[in-house]
Amino acid sequence: MNGTLSLSNIFNSANARSFAAPIFIVLILAMLVLPLPPFALDILFTFNIALSIMVMLVALSTKKALDFAAFPTVLLLSTLLRLSLNVASTRVVLLEGHTGPDAAGKVIEAFGHFLVGGNYTVGIIVFVILVIINFIVITKGAGRIAEVSARFTLDAMPGKQMAIDADLNAGLVDENEARRRRAEISQEADFYGSMDGASKFVRGDAIAGILILLVTIVGGLLIGLLQHDMSLADAASNYTLLAIGDGLVAQIPALIISIAAGIIVSRVSTDEDIAGQMLSNIFNKTQALYITAAILGMMGMIPGMPNFVFLLLAGGMAWIAYKSSKKQEEVLPEIETAPAVAVEAQEASWEDVAPIDTLGLEVGYRLIPLVDNAADGELVRRIKGIRKKFAREIGFLPPAVHIRDNLEINPNSYRITLKGVEIGSGEVRTGLFLAIDPGSISGTLPGVATTDPAFGLPAVWIESNQREQAQAMGYTVVDPGTVVATHLNHLVTQHAAELLGRLEVQALLDHLGKSAPKLVEELVPKMLTLSAVQKVLQTLLIEGVAIRDMRSIIDTLLEHGTHVQDPNELTALVRVALGRSIVQQIYGSVSELPVIALDQALERLLLQTLQSGHDSVGMEPGLADTLLEKTQTSTQRQEALGHPPVLLTPAVLRPLLSRFLRRALPQLKVLSHAEVPEGKHIKVTSLVGGAA
């Protein structure tokens, strides 16, 4: 029936495994409080021995520690199982021990009689020796190895993460492989940390085993003497042998599990399991085998020594060494040809020509935590945000920023590179905050004085507890990651035209072609070349115009591309089509546009210069100096009034003045009359070469 959940459906469902652990824990708790019959104890003790052997065999077959990532949990659960069995068996021993040596089951009886010959003195000594081996030798050593491994694994995590990021940025691995490697590094640190703690379980188990043995012996003697009127010899024989059998049947699996723990944490990760490592590292060394055989042979010839045993082992060692050397000689020709292959592989090839990263960020070693994903490096997330913001605002997807560490620069420094060339650098201090003076602060702060690397504003590095005070005084307070991200964002926007290569233009057209394929096909290559379109887009970006409205740009190029091929003229026409967007980008949604205009006399002089065939480069020096000086004065006046610095010129003069003034006054925008959309009112607030 629908809605009926049968028992078979539960165990056949995908959630069946999730019931295993809770059921196992409940059974362990039940053994602590409920009495168990001897037959049940036999089954559970046998299962405990089988579990420990299986765990050790799995540990021997692993090639690296993470192949048995569940081992710390297995160690805890097996310890809980042994302790619960100790409690259950102790209850049975104390209640039924007077009836005979098989009171707690056949397994405990066998360990009490067969392993120690029925002699409880020998049993106590054997038990103590097993506890010493487990507690002092194996568990202590495995715990120390796990502790050191956890410490070194954590210390090496930033370097490993940087290596993964470098491989990802270099294209050696894809994003999925990089994510898998990062997860493996994190799991490795968690594993050794868990093993460091889990080793304490085995220590506690060994101590508990000793105490349980003593309590069982003393309690059994008292119960036998006082409650069952047994003689001291009979009580000691029964209860001591049962207690020793109970202790041994628990300590031997504990010893096996401890050996498995030591194997897991002490192995070095290779492509071989433990058996393969031992055989390849020991029995392939023929020289060591021959020397060992010779020493055993000489010892076997000494009178009074067990000659047969020593000579037998010496012969066996010599035979193994001979077979190993013969096997190595068989593969020797292949090995001899290896140097020729190596020499051939050293020849230069095109693979040795490493591509230059379009955008790069190099950091000193103290800034590695800022770009470390495992340490929650916020800078990586912010760089992703910068690329998204750039794509939304500018109109194309910039290249990925390749991050790498650079030990040659100052530990607190960073470098931003464009096509392998540095375009910006700075220094930040992790753990501190940068308080930037925007020009309206009410006081000064103690700290390390510096300048904001993005905009050159005066700033000071302060402690985190000064942050609220700095904000109250008017400072703009940012963390080191924000400092680097802001600088990177500023430089990427500033060099947008250089980031727009042919690949990016083609990708941009392909993206537009998904929604308007005919539009793109008609333009490239039928009407304009890809290079011409790239030149138009780059010129727009150089002049600070976003290219988000690609449909308007394509429409304009299609309209005029049949009779205009010059990229500069096409750019001017595109600017007119984008006039509303350009003005809104500068002024917002205001209806009145305060602008700087040219004095009529200066305007006529510039028109004459242009008509005579001179551009801004060939402009008469005196005129160029006067124009630059007057424009700087008007720009400063415009900024003092709180208006955006915009120079309004005739359309024919706009390209000339834009190129000429761009380097000296990058904040000045040059518009033509044709680019001002209808409905906007012009207000001339300053004249270049005259008075407002």
CATH code for the domain of 414:
3.40.30.60
Phi and psi at residue 454, to the nearest 5°: -80, -45
Q: Based on the domain organization, do 689 and 572 belong to the same domain?
A: no
The verdict on residue 360 lying in a domain is no
What does the alpha-carbon distance between residue 290 and residue 287 come to, in Å, rounded to a whole number?
Answer: 5
The verdict on residue 17 lying in a domain is no
Q: Based on the domain organization, do 184 and 194 belong to the same domain?
A: yes
For 620-650, b/e burial (b = at least 16 CB within 10 A) is eeeeeeebbebbeebbeebeeeebbbbbbbe
Q: Based on the domain organization, do 489 and 635 belong to the same domain?
A: no
CATH (domain of 671): 3.40.50.12790
Q: Based on the domain organization, do 385 and 458 belong to the same domain?
A: yes
Amino acid (one-letter) located at 663 = R
> What dihedral do alpha carbons 628, 629, 635, 636 form, nearest 10°?
150
Q: Based on the domain organization, do 504 and 463 belong to the same domain?
A: no
Q: Based on the domain organization, do 41 and 189 belong to the same domain?
A: yes
pLDDT digits (tens, 9 = 90+) for 185-219: 777 777 777 776 766 776 677 777 778 777 877 88
Residue 532 has pLDDT above 90, yes or no: yes
Give CA separation, 584 vs 302, 495, 545, in Å.
104, 22, 11
The verdict on residue 4 lying in a domain is no
CA 436 to chain centre: 31
Give the residue among 530, 528, 596, 529 at the shortest CA–CA distance from 558: 528
Q: How many domains does the chain have?
A: 5
Last residue of a domain, one of 554, 577, 600: 577
Q: How confident is the model at residue 535 (pLDDT cuts 50, 70, 90)?
A: very high
> What is the helix (H) or strand (E) element at residue 381, kind and residue range?
helix 378-394
Higher pLDDT, 131 or 161: 131
Amino acid (one-letter) located at 565 = Q
CATH (domain of 540): 1.10.8.540
Contacts of 590 (CB under 8 A, 6+ apart): none
Contacts of 142 (CB under 8 A, 6+ apart): 195, 199, 258, 261, 262, 265, 266
DSSP letters spanning 540-567: HHHTT-----HHHHHHHHHHHTTT---H
Lowest mean pLDDT among 126-140, 425-439, 501-515: 126-140
Beta partners for residue 434, in sequence order? 461, 478
Contacts of 317 (CB under 8 A, 6+ apart): 289, 290, 292, 293, 296
Q: Based on the domain organization, do 66 and 197 belong to the same domain?
A: yes
Domain region containing 418: 379-498
What pLDDT shows up at residue 415? 95
The verdict on residue 345 lying in a domain is no
Contacts of 277 (CB under 8 A, 6+ apart): 267, 268, 270
Q: How confident is the model at residue 543 (pLDDT cuts 50, 70, 90)?
A: very high
- Highest mean pLDDT: which range of 131-135, 258-262, 307-311, 515-519: 515-519
Contacts of 7 (CB under 8 A, 6+ apart): none
pLDDT digits (tens, 9 = 90+) for 564-609: 999 999 999 999 999 999 999 999 888 999 999 998 888 888 888 8
Residue 323 has pLDDT above 90, yes or no: no
Q: Which of the 8 DSSP states describes residue 441?
A: -
Last residue of a domain, one of 532, 555, 577: 577
Q: How confident is the model at residue 100 (pLDDT cuts 50, 70, 90)?
A: low
Q: Based on the domain organization, do 259 and 180 belong to the same domain?
A: yes
Give start and end residues of each alpha helix (H) in 114-139.
Answer: 120-132
